[in-house]
Amino acid sequence: MKMIWHLVKKDLRAIWPLWLAWLGFIAVRIPLLLYYLNSAGEKALALMSLVCACALLADSLLVVSLVRSLVHEDALAGDKSFWVTRPITGVQLLVAKLASSLLVCVVSPLVLLLPTWFWFGFDEVEIGHVLTYHCLVNSGLVAVALLFAVVTRRGSSFWLVLLSSVVAVVILAIASSNWLIIDASRHARLAIVYAGLAVVLFGVVQQFIKRRTWIAQGSLGVGALITALLLPHWPGTREESPRGKLINQPLTITWNGVGAYFAKKEPKSSLPDYVKGRLEIALPKEYSRVDLQLLKGEWCDLKGNIDQADWVDPQGSPEEQSPTSSSVFQKVGQDVYICNALVSLSANWLWNKDQPWTHTGFSGRFRIRFIQTVTVADLKPIAGANARTGSFVTRLINVKSYKNAVKIAWIEAKAAGSSEGKTSVLDSTKAKVTERHNSWFSSAPLLWIRLEHHDSVFSSRGQEAGENKAGSRMVDDPTDLFAGGETHENLGELGWYFTTRVDQIVGYNDYDLKTDHIAIYKDGLP
């Protein structure tokens, strides 16, 4: 252990200039973030995204460079390294390199990041989340860099092998997604992936212990090939992942329709909502809402919609459940609700007069979107909302995003004051979100939200106090809101508070709307 620490200390001394540069880079990002947070205008927003993207790229390159330097300090490939002829074992070196890589690339940035995260106002759970993100991402980069560093001797060969491998993997993955059909089960594919990982791991470990570079290179090649070929057929894809399985589980869709009653030669214009029915969808508990969208109708065009009022949120508060529609959402199993939706289908009739009238049905395809609604209470702005621009940056940690399919439904903006430990909400409204950007800043996922008509949110209250801009008042200071005669003498602090509700589109599936489900009968129901 003592000798491992001796190696680690040597490694840290060897790379300290680059290490320091990286930490400096992280440190610079923090005031930069604060600058953008408090900047007004769309230019700042655009710059923020650009800076975030560049920072992420530079960050990754620096981490990879650091790991490369650490490993090449005692190169494993070739026979000229100093350590090889000294009483240093491969295991000692492996442990030392792992320890120094993790210390430098994962642990050391936390000295800067943790205080920042606390300053952002993250609670323990959120710190845990963002810590996990940070550790996973940086450990992943460390692992990739380590793989390539152990089979190369110099920086030039390292970057050449790394870049060419990335290009090769991308090309092979594209080819695999287009031409390779893997018929194996999920378990079989997972077994191949694990076998590939085991081969790569074996290659790395034996390189440290026995230094047979060609074996390590071969292992890496096999691992890269497996990754490239299986990447497009990854067992964790939406359809096959546990979440995907949830989405894909067969839904019971039944149609209790009432056929329209019309005569054979009835003119097209007299075919209003000719069919109404009840669509029953067994909905997994996780999804509180579904949207129905008709994609394609054959023989006729259909427009289907579900009256939103008839939908309830079983996970929402009692007030959110419509009393008139509570009956349509019935729990029928542990995780399954039945949603009895009243659906109106209207026809844009493409009438074929030669069609027989009896038992003619619609066919088509419709899409069901599963929507998970997450309410994030007290979504506080990180550095204070900018009332002038109507935007604020908050953290996006507790929102479970799935394939980035997250949309912000609305923001509840509150003007509130606090006094003697009590916060009084003076006014609140729902503001529509016009823009949202996900940013990865300071190793924390952040959400930049821009509100529409923010300036008019409280306009009715503040009109008397300030100037109007284009018919609506720009609110700079929440105290202005109360200039219309209300007293706020006892309020110590006044400020903006935001809560938001996030709708998350979890996924969608298309279903065939078959004749069996919807049918129109010439003479009414049989």
Distance between CA atoms of residues 240 and 189, nearest Å: 11
Distance between CA atoms of residues 52 and 395, nearest Å: 15
- Is-contact 235 186, C-beta < 8 A? yes
Taking the CA atoms of 160, 221, 91 and 81 in sequence, report the sign of the dihedral they define.
Answer: negative
Contact between 82 and another protein by CB under 8 A: the answer reads yes
- Residue indicated by tokens 């909905």: 283
Contact between 212 and another protein by CB under 8 A: the answer reads yes
E strands of 322-362, at which residues? 329-331, 336-348, 360-361
Q: Which is nearer to another protein, 120 or 158 (CB)?
A: 158
List the one residue from 23, 56, 84, 205 that touches another protein (CB under 8 A).
84
The piece of 50-58, 82-90, 119-127, 227-235 that touches another protein (CB under 8 A) is: 82-90
Q: Within 10 A of 319 (CB to CB), how many other CB atoms are there?
A: 7
Q: Which is nearer to another protein, 218 or 314 (CB)?
A: 218
Give me the half-sphere count of Cα atoms (radius 13 Å) on the Cβ side of residue 132: 8
Which of positions 13-42 make contact with another protein (CB under 8 A)?
13-14
CB of 103 to another protein, least distance (A): 18
List the one residue from 67, 75, 251, 494 that touches another protein (CB under 8 A).
75
The radius of gyration of the chain's CA atoms, rounded to the nearest angstrom, is 30
CB of 8 to another protein, least distance (A): 12
Contact between 493 and another protein by CB under 8 A: the answer reads no
Q: Which is nearer to another protein, 210 or 422 (CB)?
A: 210
- Is-contact 391 446, C-beta < 8 A? no
Contact between 100 and another protein by CB under 8 A: the answer reads no
CB of 144 to another protein, least distance (A): 25
List the one residue from 1, 31, 87, 272 that touches another protein (CB under 8 A).
87
Q: What angle do CA 475, 382, 103 make, to 5 degrees?
A: 160
Closest of 394, 416, 402 to residue 488, by C-alpha = 416
Q: Which is nearer to another protein, 14 or 416 (CB)?
A: 14
CB of 202 to another protein, least distance (A): 18
The piece of 83-91, 278-286, 486-494, 518-526 that touches another protein (CB under 8 A) is: 83-91
CB of 89 to another protein, least distance (A): 6
List the one residue from 43, 86, 265, 353 that touches another protein (CB under 8 A).
86
Which of positions 345-364 make contact with another protein (CB under 8 A)?
none
The piece of 78-86, 159-167, 403-411, 448-456 that touches another protein (CB under 8 A) is: 78-86
3-state secondary structure of 417: strand
Beta-sheet pairing, 360-361 with 329-331: unpaired
Contact between 156 and another protein by CB under 8 A: the answer reads no
Q: Which is nearer to another protein, 79 or 273 (CB)?
A: 79
Contact between 207 and another protein by CB under 8 A: the answer reads no
- Is-contact 362 518, C-beta < 8 A? yes
**Number of residues counted as binding another protein (CB under 8 A):** 19
The piece of 5-13, 31-39, 246-254, 269-277 that touches another protein (CB under 8 A) is: 5-13
Would you state the structure tokens that stand for residue 432, as one six-digit string?
């529509």
Q: Which is nearer to another protein, 14 or 258 (CB)?
A: 14
Distance between CA atoms of residues 282 and 456, nearest Å: 42
Burial class (CB in 10 A: 0-12, 13-18, 19+), 46: exposed
Contact between 79 and another protein by CB under 8 A: the answer reads yes
Q: What angle do CA 464, 470, 475 make, to 5 degrees?
A: 50
- Continuous H helices in 210-241: 213-230
Question: 458-483: buried (b, 16+ CB within 10 Å) or exposed (e) per residue?
Answer: bbebbeebbeeeeebbbbebbbbbbe
DSSP secondary structure letter of residue 93: H
Q: Which is nearer to another protein, 87 or 323 (CB)?
A: 87
List the one residue from 80, 264, 265, 353 that touches another protein (CB under 8 A).
80
Contact between 168 and another protein by CB under 8 A: the answer reads no
Q: Which stretches of the chain bind another protein, using CB under 8 A?
A: 2-3, 6, 10, 13-14, 73, 75, 79-82, 84-89, 212
